[in-house]
Amino acid sequence: MSESGVDRVIKFAPQMMLVSGGWLALVVWTDLPGVLTAFQAVFLAVTAVSLSEYRAERGLWMLAMLYFAISVALYAIFLVQGILDEIRGVRAPVSLAIDVALITILLGGQVGFLWRVAVINRRLSRAD
């Protein structure tokens, strides 16, 4: 992700937080599919808001890497659970497969965002 892409994510993070938070509440209360994607979208918005000062505040690269580790670990848990379900013979609905595909897309964007923030902020921290 480019620096301008990082800035765009940060610029629209508050709106994304409201929309994805509402989406998460809707899918939880109504038992609609998409709860995993909504959760991942909320997490992306929260990380973007909390890292918005990445050019000014030194040391945020560590927080970005913590978010990176949490994101990848949660995705791995979802993936392993899906594999275990397949081994046990439990057939997941198509909506869950679509949900996992959307999570994968969101995670790709989030990983690019977090990596770029960490690299830029690390350079800032080393410059002093």
Prediction pTM value: 0.85
CB 127 within 8 A of CB 13: no
Domain spans of the chain, in order of start: 3-127
For 23-59, the pLDDT digits (tens) are 989 998 888 888 889 999 999 999 999 999 999 898 8
* Cα-Cα end-to-end distance for the chain: 25
SS (H, E, C) 75-102: HHHHHHHHHHHHHHCCCCCHHHHHHHHH
pLDDT for res 128: 61
Mean per-residue pLDDT, 65-83: 90
Integer Cα distance of 72 and 62 in angstroms: 15
